[in-house]
Amino acid sequence: MARVEFTRHLHRFFPALGEQPALEIEARDVAELVERLEARFPGLAGYLLDDQRALRQHVNVFVNGRPLHDRQSLSDAVDSNSSIHIMQALSGG
């Protein structure tokens, strides 16, 4: 199973993520990973994806330390050895 980590900011908005540092999720690509996360944590996909199901502009996903290549259909492959980091850029003044 892929290891998925979220920034603390997302833990604040989705307390169901709990205090665990990472989740183990089985998926073939990032799109399936987001679907499975949504099933476990309703509303999370809406926070990560826009109305076209593409990654929101200020959300970043890294697979094995590399930025997500396909931000539109989320087709980047993941496997049982993958490490995924999901974060949202914060802005303000």
The answer, as to whether pTM is greater than 0.85, is yes
Total domains present in the chain: 1
Residues 53-79 as b/e (b if ≥16 CB within 10 A, e otherwise) read eebeeebbbebeeeebeebeebebebe
Q: Is the pLDDT confidence value at 13 over 90?
A: no
How many Cβ atoms from other residues are within 10 Å of residue 24's Cβ? 10
Query: Which CATH number goes with the domain that contains 48?
Result: 3.10.20.30
Which pair of structure tokens corresponds to residue 37? 């996360």
In a domain, 93, yes or no: no
Q: For residue 41, give its domain range.
A: 2-88
In a domain, 30, yes or no: yes
- Could you tell me which residues are beta bridge partners of residue 49? 55
48-87 confidence digits (pLDDT tens):
999 999 999 999 999 999 999 999 999 999 999 999 999 9
- Could you tell me which residues are beta bridge partners of residue 85? 5, 62
